[in-house]
Amino acid sequence: MTAGFASTSSSEVRERLRAARLRAFLAQQMPDTEIRFDEPMSRHTSFRIGGPADALLLPRTLEDLQRCVRLSIEMGLPLTIVGNGSNLLVRDGGIRGLTLKIADNLARIDLNGVELTAQSGAPLAAVSRFAAEHSLTGLEFACGIPGALGGGVIMNAGAYGGELAEVTTQVRAVDERGGLRVLSAAEMQFGYRTSALQGKKWIVFDVTMRLQPGGRTQIEARMADFTCQRESKQPLSLPSAGSVFKRPPGGYVGPLVEQLGLKGYRIGDAQVSEKHAGFIVNLGAARAADVLALIQYVRGRVQERFGIGLETEVRVIGEDA
């Protein structure tokens, strides 16, 4: 079976996944996993942008997750991992091969004393709320972060002076061969918006965090304050992928872009937010090409004026149309 599915060009991969026999084979091999063919990725990103995924898989157990990885190897098909799509831009041509989505299909949260273990698809905001409901402090900063835990721990997500590195004690992940790996906090090698898993083809399955007992009233008050700050500063009424650029040393991106007079600047329906210049928003019909062109324009202007090279925080995947 493997030889018959050996992959070559992306166009051939796409045609192969349109074949009825291969779709039937996938369904037979993954009976407990929901599979959607030619699925528009605009339905799965907070940007509301993205071409079709050839085959979108939604596993519900660790075993199904491992089976997906091994099946992609057996079939010779590329495998792309996505979470809830909050920090993601999918190009207009979509994604070839198999796309593995980990969101509410893998979002269980368990508690053992002050140790909280959550599956990688659990939204960070939901994990933060769960901790507060059980009078545990340490995750208040995450109450307004729109991403899922898996992507969050890979990039060491943080806000308001806190980050996941401060509470994470263990990460379980599936490696590129489908094996289960267990990493300690030290092995995760956390840094500013980075970890040892960034750039690896590993899939986070769950994360264990050690929190501290606290007063629920005080915890929820801090979360309410963070939420108010976020709502007052960020363009939450329009589709976006959050902060587009990483914070440069010694400053913030928003003020730099604002000094250039770029608030409201647009290419197509992609616009530098009029509320927060560190965000790019979709006014309704933006294409990924528009967003990428706008990112390049802003980077070029900042480099030219301030001599600062901006790094993108948004993950970009897929093919051009």
Residues 20 and 36 in one domain: yes
**Do the domain assignments include residue 298?**
yes
Please pick, among 115, 220, 313, 319, the residue that the annotation labels catalytic: 313
**Do the domain assignments include residue 228?**
no
Question: Residue 4 pLDDT more than 60?
Answer: no
Which of 40-44, 122-126, 189-193, 227-231 is predicted with the least confidence, judged by mean pLDDT?
A: 227-231
pTM here?
0.87
Residues 82 and 37 in one domain: yes
Domain with 86 in it? 3-104
Cα(146)–Cα(225) distance, integer angstroms = 16
Question: Residue 1 pLDDT more than 80?
Answer: no
**Do the domain assignments include residue 276?**
yes
Task: Based on the residue annotation, tell me whether 128 is a catalytic residue of this protein.
Answer: no
**Do the domain assignments include residue 22?**
yes
pLDDT digits 0-9 by tens, 248-257? 988 899 999 9
Task: Based on the residue annotation, tell me whether 313 is a catalytic residue of this protein.
Answer: yes
Angle at 295 between CA 289 and CA 300, to 5 degrees: 125
Residues 137 and 76 in one domain: no
Task: Based on the residue annotation, tell me whether 243 is a catalytic residue of this protein.
Answer: yes
Cα(32)–Cα(34) distance, integer angstroms = 7
Residues 148 and 178 in one domain: yes
Cα(281)–Cα(301) distance, integer angstroms = 19
Residues 97 and 112 in one domain: no
Q: Of 191, 218, 245, which marks where a domain is finished?
A: 218
Highest mean pLDDT of the ranges 22-31, 68-77, 123-132: 123-132
pLDDT digits 0-9 by tens, 45-98? 999 999 999 999 999 999 999 999 999 999 899 999 999 999 899 999 999 999
Please pick, among 46, 120, 240, 243, the residue that the annotation labels catalytic: 243
Question: Residue 289 pLDDT more than 90?
Answer: yes
Q: Domain count for the chain, please give it.
A: 3
Residues 189 and 170 in one domain: yes
CATH number of the domain residue 294 falls in: 3.90.78.10
Please pick, among 193, 216, 266, 299, the residue that the annotation labels catalytic: 193
Question: Residue 107 pLDDT more than 90?
Answer: yes
